[in-house]
Amino acid sequence: MLVENYSPNIRTALKRAKIKVGDRITVEKGKENHEGLLMPRNDLGDKNALVIKLDSGYNIGIGFSSSMKISKSNKKEPTNIKEEVEFEMGKKAVPKLKFDSSKPPVSLISTGGTIASRVDYKTGGVRALEKPEELLMNVPELKDFANIKVISPFKKMSEDMDYKDWQKLAKLVAKELNAGNNVVITHGTDTLHFTAAALSFMLTNLHKPVVLVGSQRSIDRGSSDAFSNLVCATHMALSNVGEVGICMHGSMNDDYCTFNRGTRVRKMHTSRRDTFRTMGDVPIAKMSTKGNIDTISKYNHRKNEKVKVDDKFEPKVALLKAYPNSEPEILEMLVKKGYKGFVIEGTGFGHVPTDAKKSWINTIKKLTKKKIPVVVTAQTLYGRVNENVYTNLIKLFHDAGAIPGEDMLPEVAYVKLSWVLGHTKNPDEVKKMMLTNIAGEITERSVINTLQV
């Protein structure tokens, strides 16, 4: 299988040694010795490099040379590696998983993302799993404490999510919770915090945990965080916490995970496994894969009450950043496109350019007079907007009519304004709702010990 993608020299050497893809081989090249399963080569890689899967689960490429020795190995490969390769090469179907119905019920809602992906050996990229059960197959310990039911409403990478997906998830989550099931949502990490914020506003009268989880490494990577994240998330779904949150690695190691409130969390690194951080506050809880949960901040407690869905949403809201040399014309252009509201990431305490030639103040004032709300947040992420420190801020908030975003994260303010405008376009009501703490998105005060570096 896919041996033809290797170079003629490699194909000749493999044929001579009677080796085919999937065989366990030993490769001797100079002073280096490697042993593992021969993998197919993807279309985009070096044709003159052997790809083998090590017992650690990692794949490596070894450049071919005429002096290297390739032979079959008599050593038996680990069962988990053999099964993994069979799945990756499409030789084995996903087994039907059996869970104990006497265990607490957990509805695993699979939406896609890296946590539901693996390497595609044809392209070398990452592809979605054919079935979400492939993920569960690699986490057998879940059977010890949960009765898992898998639901897959759609499969999307998170950058393709939109508000309609959030609405669909909100309805599905409420249905499962009201049926007595606990809920874990697997999701791509890039926009995971947007979805967490959306569910925080759309799910009302919520007194049960809604746990979103993802991973920074696909499940076929030796360093994958998918397994421990999913175990921790499932424990969290059975906990006494009654809020929406993201449960993922709390450090670069596999020692613990954190549960971060859905309106105070943000992805802060492109690739680190502890990328999700609670901003301007502390996580709700930290936990181990053994199920030990340590709550470290105030939270809403679990109650057996019916969850309601309030998913009205105005999609024509824009999130913009103020920066040196930026001009306000972009606001006017978007208004012509039908946009109904704006969230601006201001500099420092919430500044926007005020130079006479490029001032945003007059444009914002025109918008607010047209009943188009403009919310200003701080692009520093930590701290909060202050409308009274500088004269230009007084002009922006008191004269032009911009709404101070307090210490809301920009992405959360964007989701919240969209949700608020789905309910009312009345400027006074919009301002009142934006300044009201609805789902933990606004803290009472900014404390010094929440700045993480």
Q: Which residues are catalytic?
A: 114, 189-190, 267
Main-chain dihedrals φ then ψ at residue 262, nearest 5 degrees: -65, -20
Nearest-Å Rg of the Cα atoms of the chain is: 26
Interatomic CA distance for residues 186 and 139, integer angstroms: 14
Contact of 300 with 239, CB cutoff 8 Å:
no
Do residues 129 and 157 touch, judged by C-beta distance below 8 A? no
Reading the block at residue 223, the tokens are 């360093």
Q: Residue 339: helix, strand or coil by DSSP?
A: coil
Q: Nearest CA to 187 among 145, 261, 142, 245?
A: 245
Question: What is the C-alpha separation between 329 and 121, in angstroms, rounded?
Answer: 47
Q: What does the DSSP assignment read for 91-128?
A: -SPPPPP---TTSPEEEEEE--SGGGEEE-TTTSSEEE
Beta-strand relationship, 69-72 and 257-261: unpaired
Report the distance separating Cα 356 and Cα 119, nearest Å: 54
What one-letter code names the amino acid at 258? T
Contacts of 67 (CB under 8 A, 6+ apart): 29, 30
- Tokens 């044929």 belong to which residue? 15
Measured CA to CA, the distance from residue 80 to residue 117 in angstroms comes to 17
Whether 280 and 407 have beta carbons less than 8 Å apart is answered as: yes
